[in-house]
Every structure is written in C-alpha cells, then in structure tokens.
Amino acid sequence: MLNERKKAIFLDRDGTINVDKDYLYRIEDFQFEPKADEALKILYDLGYVLIIVTNQSGIARGYYSEEDVEILHQDLSKILQEKGIEISKFYYCPHHPTKGVGKYKTDCECRKPNPGMLLKGIEEFSIDTSLSYMVGDKKSDVDAGLKAGVTSIFLNNGKEEVPKDLSENILVFKSLYDFAIFLKNK
C-alpha cells in the first residue's frame, strides 16, 4: 500500500540508548546502556521505525560541531547495522535558548520538550501516532512525546527522579530493554 501508516519508536539518545556522558560526540566515548542494543533489535524486529531525537546543546555551546555529531551518528548506525538494526533517521537539535553561541542561541521548535523533531519524523515517515512511542529518561522527552501525540515512556534508570507531575497514562520502565520486552509480550 502506498499510503500505509507506520508505527515508530522515537528514542532519546543520551541516557536512553547510551550512557549519558557530558557532551558525547566521539564514538570511542560511546557506551550502550545495559542491553540497549538488544532492546533496539527487539523493537526493530517488531516492525517499528526507529528514529533518534536528541538535544545536542554541546553544538550550541561551541564544544563540538554539527559535523562531529553527524559522524558519531554515522558510526553508531554502522555498529547497529552490523547487529541487524536500522535507525531510519537521526534528528538532533543544535540550539540552546540561553547558552547558545551565535546562530545556535535561539528558542526553537526542535529542542525537547518541544515536539519539532518528532513532528518532522512523523511527516517524513508517514507515522501513525496512535501506534507510536517516545522513549526517554527525562521529563522533556515525555513532554515532547505528549505534544507530538505519541505515547510517552519514561525510563526510570535511577539517574533522574521520576517527575511528580507525570500523567498517570505515562508508562515507566527501568530500561529500554524492559520496555522492549513489554512490547514484545503485548
């Protein structure tokens, strides 16, 4: 079918897929969260379009370039392809409203909790929001998902307190792997 709507998993990167290291931009510093690569394989095998949506204020602050982030994402994509996983798209926000330098100092629609990156993915890949999820370890991830009309998943990996004002319909898991097993068994 030409106009078939697809289901997607929108994924935060740092703290969700990889260990959150301040301003990560080199593949040699990349380390998967426990079983995150296995989780991605499960989600991919379940037929979800996998889309990364990541705030990268290190670009805005001048710590590294957009090219550095794109190289990291190309390297990560190759590693995942070797494991039988395809990331359909990496979206990143290079802006910061107060800490940005030059053209990157802006309050934009792409920086989570705004839904801009998700909305681009929904349009570009003809995503059915009723079948799709946003997974992340911060309230800004959850909020972006809600604003984009997808089900939000909060990863309570112990690094950030579970926000007290989370909606009761937000699902909470300890890890991306636990969420993947939940979907597999659904």
Tokens 């309570």 — which residue?
Answer: 156
User: What would the pLDDT profile of 71-105 be if each residue is shown by its tens digit?
Assistant: 999 999 999 999 999 999 999 999 999 999 999 99
Q: Which of the residues are catalytic? A: 12, 14
- What is the rounded distance in angstroms from the CA atom of residue 36 to the CA atom of residue 59? 25
What domains sit in the chain, N to C, each tagged with a CATH number? Answer: 8-185 (3.40.50.1000)
Query: Does residue 38 register a pLDDT over 50?
Result: yes
Main-chain phi, psi angles of 162, to 5 degrees = -65, 120
3-state DSSP assignment of residue 18: strand
Query: Mean pLDDT, to the nearest integer, of 92-119?
Result: 97
Query: Does residue 65 register a pLDDT over 80?
Result: yes
Query: Does residue 42 register a pLDDT over 90?
Result: yes
Percent of the chain topping pLDDT 70? 92
Lowest mean per-residue pLDDT among 14-18, 101-105, 158-162: 158-162
Mean pLDDT of the chain: 94
C-alpha 137: how far from its chain's center? Answer: 9
Closest CA to 148 of 179, 183, 110, 186: 110
- What is the rounded distance in angstroms from the CA atom of residue 106 to the CA atom of residue 50? 28
H/E run at residue 70: helix 66-82
Query: Mean pLDDT, to the nearest integer, of 34-40?
Result: 98
- What is the rounded distance in angstroms from the CA atom of residue 40 to the CA atom of residue 180? 8
- Which pLDDT score, from 0 to 100, does residue 165 have? 67
Span between the terminal Cα atoms of the chain, in Å: 26
Query: Does residue 1 register a pLDDT over 60?
Result: no
Banded pLDDT at 158 (limits 50, 70, 90):
confident
Cβ atoms of 118 and 144 within 8 Å: the answer is yes
- Which pLDDT score, from 0 to 100, does residue 134 have? 98
User: Between the CA of residue 150 and those of 16, 62, 85, what are the distances in Å?
Assistant: 17, 32, 22
- What is the rounded distance in angstroms from the CA atom of residue 53 to the CA atom of residue 82? 21
